[in-house]
């Protein structure tokens, strides 16, 4: 059923003032709206008074941001987010010279919406819990990336003038005990000059001692080994700068750890409240980290996707086919939300260790010469169809049921799995 809109509005947004174009029939009106609560309320109230009881279609180049969040409170506005590439191509059709300005872009958005709104999908906002999971999940990933960058800088600083600390590294450069050690002893000189009893206390925190400790801390072989390690760098200028870098990078990583822990607590709390939490936990490889991300990826509006293909294409998991004449190329899809693609890619990769058929499918593709990440994307393509079906029907994933279906269809995965099991 096609919705009849009272007017079509194009908004070219900016930080402080937005260019607005309103189309009613062939009449065109231009205006500016400030990014202020009072100005937006006044503009929306005027539209409601002019078109009582009628929805207003609004097109803009964003699906999030301050303007989108502000417009959500007006229930009569139907938002149509447009990819900037779509507007750029539409603009180039009428302005080959490449010239552009804000009022002109607002008009193009309004005209594009009026002519093609039946081929566009209105933006359906998720419920508050799902939106919170999406925003928190993306922000958490950003903090993790920043922690990784800071950890790499710390490792580089340690390699330059404090290689002794790398012996206590453990698995992660952001480990709690390791960072505490660096904050207490930010240079090799300070570590080697520390009192034996203090060193033993720190070493016992870092590693459990299986044997009985020596009677004297000074004769502890670990303490003796630390004191005998030669100094790599003797240049005071380098040591001074390196000590300060190690101290502040370790302190920064401690703050990153606390920040990420707070995000994790919020995500787990909201995930427990979501009605689809158990559904997404049932998928192999989901776990505590990926369950809220999968919830946010699918959303709460089940009419958003007509089929699994919509999800596969939007997320960038589905490849792009380029065909011209007798030439046909299949390439990785680049134009997609990166975080959304990462979510499904990582879920597929994590499923390899806990799902036999998924592992067999990936190994089968690798045996045919496909690269690892390409094979994981192909697996994610299959998982998306499964996830979409379970999400639509609200049924938990049953691995035994799916494997039985593979047997009924005589899937190559089953044959490959049986062959490798026999070996």
Give the DSSP letter string of 213-238. PPSSGGG-HHHHHHHHSPPS---HHH
pLDDT tens digits, 72-96:
889 899 999 888 888 888 888 888 8
Burial label, 51 (beta-carbon count in 10 A; 0-12, 13-18, 19+): middle
Nearest one of 200, 184, 7, 198 to 111, comparing CA atoms: 7
Q: Are 403 and 357 in contact (CB under 8 A)?
A: yes
In terms of pTM, does the model score above 0.85?
no
pLDDT at 423: 53
Q: Which residues contact 67 (CB under 8 A, 6 or more apart)?
A: 11, 13, 18, 35, 60
Top-confidence range, 41-55, 103-117, 252-266: 252-266
In this predicted structure, what is the pLDDT of residue 83? Answer: 84
359-409 pLDDT, tens digit each: 999 999 999 999 999 999 999 999 999 999 999 999 999 999 999 999 898
Dihedral sign of CA atoms 327, 332, 336, 340 in order: positive
Q: How far apart are CA 174 and CA 187, in angstroms?
A: 17
Band of residue 198 on the pLDDT scale cut at 50, 70, 90 = confident
Angle at 377 between CA 148 and CA 387, to 5 degrees: 100
Does residue 211 carry a pLDDT above 60?
A: no
Q: What is the DSSP letter of 75?
A: T
Section 124-128 average pLDDT: 87
């Amino acid at each position: 059923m096609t919705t009849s809109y009272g007017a079509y509005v194009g908004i070219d947004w900016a930080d402080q003032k937005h260019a607005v174009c309103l189309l009613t029939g062939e009449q065109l009106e231009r205006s500016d709206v400030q990014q202020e609560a009072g100005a937006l309320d006044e503009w929306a109230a005027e539209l409601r008074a002019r078109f009582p009881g009628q929805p207003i279609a609004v097109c803009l180049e964003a699906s999030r941001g301050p303007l989108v969040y502000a417009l959500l409170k007006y229930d009569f506005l139907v938002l149509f987010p447009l990819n900037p590439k779509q507007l750029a191509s539409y603009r180039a059709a009428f302005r080959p010279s490449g010239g552009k300005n804000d009022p002109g872009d607002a008009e193009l958005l309004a005209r594009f919406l009026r002519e093609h709104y039946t081929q566009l999908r209105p933006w359906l906002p998720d419920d508050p819990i799902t939106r919170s999971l999406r925003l928190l999940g993306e922000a958490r990933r950003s903090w993790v990336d920043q922690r990784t960058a800071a950890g790499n800088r710390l490792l580089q600083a340690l390699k330059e003038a404090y290689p002794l600390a790398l012996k206590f590294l453990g698995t992660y450069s952001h480990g709690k005990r390791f960072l505490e050690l660096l904050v207490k002893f930010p240079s090799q000189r300070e570590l080697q000059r520390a009192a034996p009893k203090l060193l033993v206390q720190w070493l016992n925190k870092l590693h459990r001692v299986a044997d009985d400790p020596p009677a004297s801390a000074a004769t502890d072989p670990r303490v003796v080994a630390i004191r005998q390690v030669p100094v790599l760098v003797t240049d005071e200028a380098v040591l001074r700068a390196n000590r300060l870098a190690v101290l502040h990078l370790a302190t920064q990583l401690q703050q990153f750890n606390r920040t990420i822990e707070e995000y994790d607590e919020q995500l787990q709390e909201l995930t427990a409240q979501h009605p689809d939490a158990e559904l997404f936990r049932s998928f192999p490889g989901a776990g505590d980290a990926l369950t809220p991300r999968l919830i946010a990826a699918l959303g709460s509006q089940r009419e958003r996707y007509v089929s699994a293909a919509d999800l596969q294409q939007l997320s960038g998991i589905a490849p792009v086919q380029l065909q011209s004449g007798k030439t046909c190329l299949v390439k990785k899809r680049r134009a997609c939300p990166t975080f959304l693609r990462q979510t499904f890619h990582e879920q597929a990769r994590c499923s390899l260790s806990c799902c036999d058929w998924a592992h067999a499918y990936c190994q089968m593709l690798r045996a045919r010469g496909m690269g690892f990440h390409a094979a994981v994307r192909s697996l994610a393509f299959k998982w998306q169809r499964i996830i979409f079906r379970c999400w639509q029907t609200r049924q938990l994933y049953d691995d035994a049921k799916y494997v039985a279906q593979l047997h009924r269809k005589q899937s190559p995965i089953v044959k490959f799995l049986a062959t490798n099991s026999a070996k």
